[in-house]
Amino acid sequence: MALIVQKYGGTSVGSVERIKNVARRVAKWKAAGHDLVVVPSAMAGETNRLIALAQSLQQHPDPRELDVIASTGEQVTIGLLTMALLELGVKARSYTGWQVKVLTDSAFTKSRIISIDQDKIRKDLKDGYLAVVAGFQGMDDQGNVTTLGRGGSDTSAVALAAALKAEECHIYTDVDGVYTTDPRLVPEARRLRTITFEEMLEMAGAGSKVLQIRSVEFAGKYKVPTRVLSSLTDPAIPVAEEGQSGTLITFEEDPNMAMEKAVISGVAFNRDEAKITVHDVPDRPGIAYAILGPIADAHIDVDVIVQNVGHDGMTDMTFTVHRNDYAKAMKLLKDQVKPHIKCRDVTGDERIAKVSIVGMGMRSHAGIAAQMFRTLAEEGINIQMISTSEIKITVVIEEKYTELAVRVLHKAFELDQA
Amino acid sequence: MALIVQKYGGTSVGSVERIKNVARRVAKWKAAGHDLVVVPSAMAGETNRLIALAQSLQQHPDPRELDVIASTGEQVTIGLLTMALLELGVKARSYTGWQVKVLTDSAFTKSRIISIDQDKIRKDLKDGYLAVVAGFQGMDDQGNVTTLGRGGSDTSAVALAAALKAEECHIYTDVDGVYTTDPRLVPEARRLRTITFEEMLEMAGAGSKVLQIRSVEFAGKYKVPTRVLSSLTDPAIPVAEEGQSGTLITFEEDPNMAMEKAVISGVAFNRDEAKITVHDVPDRPGIAYAILGPIADAHIDVDVIVQNVGHDGMTDMTFTVHRNDYAKAMKLLKDQVKPHIKCRDVTGDERIAKVSIVGMGMRSHAGIAAQMFRTLAEEGINIQMISTSEIKITVVIEEKYTELAVRVLHKAFELDQA
């Protein structure tokens, strides 16, 4: 008998029939003797519908009021799922974010969880109830409704699992785990039975959309064993089998497993970014801030940043931003930054892709980067930018080579081999 | 400068365009120097949609969970209306029932308001903000979400007006006031400029659907001047004119007005009820309870009750119930009550209508009842039951005579004369 937190995504609760399926699945785990806390998202499409409604009144909706509206999607689902459980004879009770007291900061539409009050849930579990808690939402210390931003239900679930010291956090989604790369691009992609927290973090940052990056950070910080698994399998599949399915995010590297573990765990990619280069800036302290400060002030996120050694007292700085922010960033740099820092030019390119290889094994193996670059060179793919972390190597290439690069890297690092 | 609480019904906020219209209307009142608290309902159709969704999971939805779901309709509207106000440059802030602390009892789906915490609203008004408060919903002392039942937003608005000691409570709806009878039945029906609280209460009880009866009770208990007016007029109509439109529910009878006031204020009717008669019951103490106790225990509301003087130690008891409860009540009486009290028979009739005349003037004028009965007799309409209060006379007649009865009574009491 263990305490398990299970999160079900919007597709998993996207219709009345699917909600009934989730209830059957949850009831099965309960019947197997486990204590359950269930965190559903809003029904698929509902959050988008609510945001569109808000935008029909304000082009840039007031963040406080947007959270009041957007949080209703999850509130409806907790009621519906609880009813489905009651209908199966399972004792259950729903809680909104403010009822559990998921305390967050006041950064509306992208709040961060500060603490979670466990009293009500602990009492319910003790009384044999199952708690259904709304994901994505919380309350600040002024009693305002807050939301955690896109994919926030993952974070809610992991945070609840951490607060309750749950044995495992199950993230049910419409894929059956974390793959070596996107199976839509590479049919040979394999499901990973385990992945370390650090690898998962790099995969999420590099473009794998299985888990929201903040939930992975939370899982890492509080060492919550988190399993990604599919809600589209038969709900009647035995608990013993289902509990071993999907991909488990681990925290301790098992030395025995490391022996046979592949050097690289996966290939991730992202086509949502654009590249900007500021040419011939004076190579002196403070120049990076003079360029990126105004970008940050305009709430534009910057991803890969590369600055090479200078020449003749000048250097170039290149970085990537989300494509939605590209035009805004270019205008800002040309109109405000360029006159100020007196650089030669600002150029950009939207047709780029970011491709990364990720793996804990990289730490102890030399030559991984060389092998990556040779593989790409053999296909005539030019590398525009390179950035590395301890367990990830990222290159920026021309967008049209994305599929080719992912496929050849997947093969070169033998990710298609079991 | 006065504090005014304005309530807008589901039709008034039924679309994005209509919400913008409400915002323009509210902004106009604010610009005229008034403090405003605005209480919107859910968008028309939304509450029904949510209840249908709940019923697709449980035929008889769990009341606690149903309230969690149903309350989201108003939560969405407060956000949308607040955005529309912000867009017009009006400082505004939304509050759910639990954020204001509308404390209710725990009778889910039909809770009653116990108290309202004014602190946040008072502070907002002082700071020049306008408060947009969700109608229909509250919170019990355990922190559960509760709702007030159908039409509960009227009650929320009047209760807020009472708590805040507002100068007036405006109930905006899709009719432009209270009429002498339903204008769809009698084209000569006239709008009443004022109506006393007692008359309004009897009109609501007798079938007029303009205001929820509980909101009228609240208005009476706390002497909240309440005005029913239309949200379908031009939003730009001057405040001075709009503030005199509709129908004002009054509490003090102005002696000067009483002089010229009509004896009867209105004719109300209701075709939602069914009649049940328990024949030849022993005419002894406790028998009424023996019949109506089990009915009340089954949560069936009883309206008109008539019991005449007995004969030979026996009497008949007749009462009306809502047609939805008719079959259930008949079964209960035949299976359980009849064997117990040993009455001769239980009979019923679903094809009845209740027609009432209401008016404060009735108190001081003899012969009103006689005139009513003569008017009906002249049209050959048989009276099946009679029930009277101090300012209302109700008769139960065969359903097919409803329109005729209402029309001839409206004319006989000169309600068509200004």
B88-105 pLDDT, tens digit each: 999 999 999 999 999 999
pLDDT digits (tens, 9 = 90+) for A65-81: 999 999 999 999 999 99
Instruction: Name the domain boundary from B252, B282, B314.
Output: B252
The CA distance from A75 to the nearest CA of chain B, in Å, is 6
Q: Token pair of A233, please? A: 């399998």
Q: Which distant-in-sequence residues (6+ apart) come within 8 Å of A337 by Cβ?
A: A278, A290, A291, A294, A343, A346
Please tell me which of the candidates B65, B72, B86 has its beta carbon nearest to residue A58: B86
**CB–CB contact A80 B145 (8 Å):** no
Same domain, B232 and B267: no
Q: Which of B220, B252, B284 is the last residue of a domain?
A: B252
Domain boundary among B252, B282, B311: B252
How far does B157 lie from chain A, in Å, by closest CA? 20
Q: Report if residue B338 sits inside a domain.
A: yes
- A163 and A142 assigned to the same domain: yes
Question: What 3-state DSSP class applies to B356?
Answer: strand
Strands A130-133 and A35-40: parallel
Query: Nearest by CB to B69, which of A62, A71, A79?
Result: A79
pLDDT of B316 > 60? The answer is: yes
A345-349, strands of its sheet edge to edge: A302-307, A314-322, A273-282, A345-349
Whether B202 is covered by a domain: the verdict is no
The confidence score (pLDDT) of residue A418 equals 67
Residue keyed to tokens 């491709």: A355
* Residue whose pair of structure tokens reads 């690289």 in the numeric block: A264
Q: Span B197-220, mean pLDDT?
A: 83
Chain B contact residues (CB < 8 Å to A): 16, 19-20, 50, 53-54, 56-58, 61-62, 64-66, 68-69, 71-72, 75-76, 78-80, 82-84, 86-87, 93-94, 96, 98-99, 143-145
Q: Indicate if A335 and A217 belong to the same structural domain.
A: no
Enclosing domain of residue B76:
3-175+210-252
User: Once rounded to an integer, what is the mean pLDDT over residues A97-113?
Assistant: 94
Q: What is the CA radius of gyration of chain A?
A: 23
What is the C-alpha to C-alpha distance for residues B27 and A368, in angstroms, rounded to an integer? 65
CA–CA dist A380, B306 (Å, integer): 96
**Residue A195 domain flag:** no
CB hemisphere CA count around A285 (13 angstroms): 0
Place A180 in a pLDDT band, splitting at 50, 70 and 90.
Answer: very high
pTM (2 d.p.): 0.83
The type of residue at B176 is D
- A381 occurs within a structural domain: yes
Q: What CATH number is given to the structural domain containing A352?
A: 3.30.2130.10
Task: Give percent of chain A with pLDDT exceeding 90.
Answer: 67
Question: CB under 8 Å, gap of 24 or more: what pairs does A207-212 form?
Answer: A207/A268, A207/A269, A207/A270, A207/A272, A207/A354, A207/A356, A208/A178, A208/A182, A208/A266, A208/A268, A210/A173, A210/A175, A210/A177, A210/A178, A211/A151, A211/A154, A211/A171, A211/A178, A212/A150, A212/A151, A212/A152, A212/A154, A212/A155
The predicted pLDDT at position A253 comes to 59
pLDDT of the residue at A260: 47
Considering CB atoms only, which of A54, A69, A80 is closest to B69? A80
The 3-state secondary structure of A157-209, one letter per residue: HHHHHHHCCCCEEEEEECCCCCECCCCCCCCCCCECCEEEHHHHHHHHHCCCC
Q: What string of DSSP letters covers A210-225?
A: SS-HHHHHHHHHTT--
Can you spell out the DSSP letters for B289-349?
HHHHHHHHHTT--EEEEEEPPPBTTEEEEEEEEEHHHHHHHHHHIIIIIHHHHT-SEEEEE
Of the listed ranges A175-184, A251-260, B235-244, the one predicted with least confidence: A251-260
- Tell whether B86 and B216 lie within a shared domain: yes
Kindly report the nearest CA distance between residue B201 and chain A, in angstroms.
35
Contact B272, B320 (CB under 8 A): no
- Is the per-residue pLDDT at B309 higher than 50? yes
CA dist., res. A346 & res. A337, Å (int): 10
For the cut 70, the answer to whether the pLDDT of residue A123 exceeds it is: yes
| B357-412 per-position pLDDT tens digit | 998 878 777 788 888 999 999 999 998 888 888 888 999 999 999 999 999 999 99
Bridge partners (DSSP) of residue A281 are A315
More confident of the two residues A311 and A6: A6
Distance of alpha carbon B203 from alpha carbon B197, whole angstroms? 10
pLDDT confidence band for B260 (50 / 70 / 90): very low
Q: Are residues A366 and A223 in the same domain?
A: no
Instruction: Single out the residue of A179, A200, A189, A212 nearest to residue A249, CA to CA.
Output: A200
Domain presence at residue A97: yes
For residues B24-45, average pLDDT:
96
Rounded mean pLDDT, B257-263: 55
To the nearest whole Å, the CA of B61 is away from the closest chain A CA by 7
**How far does chain B reach from its first CA to its final CA, in angstroms?**
33
Nearest to A41 by CA among A124, A118, A132, A126: A132
Integer Cα distance of A111 and A107 in angstroms? 5
Number of domains in chain A: 2
- Tell whether A119 is covered by a domain: yes
Q: Note the residue count of chain A.
A: 418
Residues B389, B387: Cα–Cα separation, whole Å: 7
A181 located within any domain = no
Whether B202 contacts B356, CB under 8 Å: yes
Together in a domain, B78 and B60:
yes
- CB pair distance less than 8 Å for B82 and A65: yes
Is there a single domain that holds both residue A273 and residue A248? no
In this predicted structure, what is the pLDDT of residue A70? 96
Whether the Cβ atoms of residue A73 and residue A134 lie closer than 8 Å to each other: no
Query: Which of A54, A64, A68 minimises the CB distance to B75?
Result: A68
> B28 vs B161, B234, B236, CA distance in Å?
20, 12, 7
What is d(CA B64, CA A287) in angstroms, rounded to the nearest whole number? Answer: 59
Rounded distance, CA B241 to CA B248, Å? Answer: 14
Instruction: Give the distance from residue A6's alpha carbon to the nearest chain B alpha carbon, in angstroms.
Output: 20
- Does B255 have pLDDT greater than 60? no
Chain B residues in contact with A79 (beta carbon < 8 A): 54, 65-66, 68-69
Q: Are residues A365 and A240 in the same domain?
A: no
On the CB side of B237, CA atoms within 13 Å amount to: 15
Residue A18 reports pLDDT greater than 70: yes
Assess contact for B43 and B11: CB atoms under 8 A. no
Tell me whether residues B62 and A68 touch, CB distance under 8 A.
no
B16, A79: Cβ pair inside 8 Å? Answer: no
- Token digits of residue A161: 């699992």
Residues of B with CB below 8 A from A98's CB?
98
Instruction: Give the gap in angstroms from C-alpha B228 to the nearest C-alpha of chain A.
Output: 27
pLDDT digits (tens, 9 = 90+) for A208-249: 778 888 888 888 889 999 999 999 899 899 999 999 999 999
Lowest mean pLDDT among A159-163, A398-402, B299-303: B299-303
CATH number at residue B116: 3.40.1160.10
Is residue A278 very low, low, confident or very high in pLDDT (cuts 50, 70, 90)?
very high
- Do A94 and A222 share a domain, yes or no? yes
Taking a C-beta distance cutoff of 8 angstroms, is the pair B159, B113 a contact?
yes
Band (B261; pLDDT cuts 50, 70, 90): low
Residue A295 has pLDDT above 50, yes or no: yes
Within a domain: residue B192? no
Both A331 and A228 in a single domain?
no
Looking at residue B207, what is its pLDDT?
72
Residue A254: left if φ>0, alpha if ψ -120 to 50, beta else—which one?
beta
In the predicted model, what is the mean pLDDT of chain A? 90
Whether residues B217 and B267 share a domain: the answer is no
Residue A3 has pLDDT above 60, yes or no: yes
Where are any strands of DSSP class E within B109-155? 113-116, 130-133, 137-139, 145-147
Encode pLDDT of A341-387 as tens digits: 888 999 999 999 999 999 887 877 778 888 899 999 999 999 888 88
Q: Do B323 and B396 share a structural domain?
A: yes
With CA atoms as reference, the chain A residue closest to B144 would be: A99
Torsions phi, psi for B250 (to 5 deg): -110, 165
